[in-house]
Chains A and B, each alone.
Chain A
Amino acid sequence: MSSQPEASDLHVSDELVIKIKDMHKWYGSFHVLRDVNLDVYRGERIVICGPSGSGKSTLIRCINRLEEHQQGDIIVDNVELTNDLKNIDAIRREVGMCFQHFNLFPHLTVMENCALAPIWVKQVPRKEAEATAMKYLERVKIPEQADKYPGQLSGGQQQRVAIARSLCMNPRIMLFDEPTSALDPEMIKEVLDVMIELAKEGMTMLCVTHEMGFAKTVANRVIFMDGGQIIEENNPHEFFDNPQHDRTKLFLSQILAH
């Protein structure tokens, strides 16, 4: 683990890239997110954890409008998320996302998965898009799988393709929604390694995960959520060694118990 940088080694700029202010969200009459406030600066690696149903996935899905918030403001890269489709498109071009179940397109090859969005959303010529895709597939160490279909790959390989696919859009922010929760234990490391590489390169990352080792080594901030609220946020050292809130202590004692 010595090759992995300490959180303090990584540079965080003072440029504000995501601002969430007094944000509320309801599913029907169910109040999922309650008064969430969060500022994210360029280069930050934020890990969001909490019990299931605490709203952590919903929170990051609000950032690229997979979920709609009903009250408060979300500003991404100086663009405010409203119902204006132009703003939503602009934000989605800047924000990449990886899902728990990869969500690769099973009818397209790995290469086609990666080149699709640049070709259709950014109007990049096909040749160029494929060259970029190859570059990122090499970075996640599976260039040899480019012509296979997702169904022929292991879970870890699929998630790495999903990361490469997001990177092909050259995003400035990456959202990870439990990227390792659906993986076999042996494959979690290969995905985390790719994410650590990404962090080292200075990518702004918001990551919902239960990988506390990842949080300790990569995150510069850990956020704990419960009941739709941010209960506690701190740097990883303080968060794990000196949690303030009783709910955080209980959560940590449960997930670190065995």
Chain B
Amino acid sequence: MPATKTAPPAKQTVSHAQSHPLLSLWNAYYESTSTRLKTIDAFLVFLVLSGVIQFLYCILVSNFPFNAFLAGCVGQFVLAASLRAQVNPANRSEFKEVSPERAFADFALGSIVLHFFVYNFLG
């Protein structure tokens, strides 16, 4: 299976290896990830938070405009995640035909289409 070779930087941080696994995960992530990916990740975290809030609202208060709930941010999340997968240098071998620029263009296109439908749905 490809895309499993990003481990080496994590191994170098020996000092953290024995500590809490989550911490080591964080460290590994922090050090081995480029700023670009971090930007994406920040975006993802925002989307997750937004989604969680909406989901809670749906459960706790009202799901009456059901369509509005569905039009939420899951779509944007997976698109961003896709972008992340594509631009992640670790996955270069998988996406031979997709350059990061191309990936971003695809992402933008997909998002615009998505937003088009979201707003169509809201109205």
A and B: partners? no
List residues of chain A with CB under 8 Å of any chain B CB. Answer: none
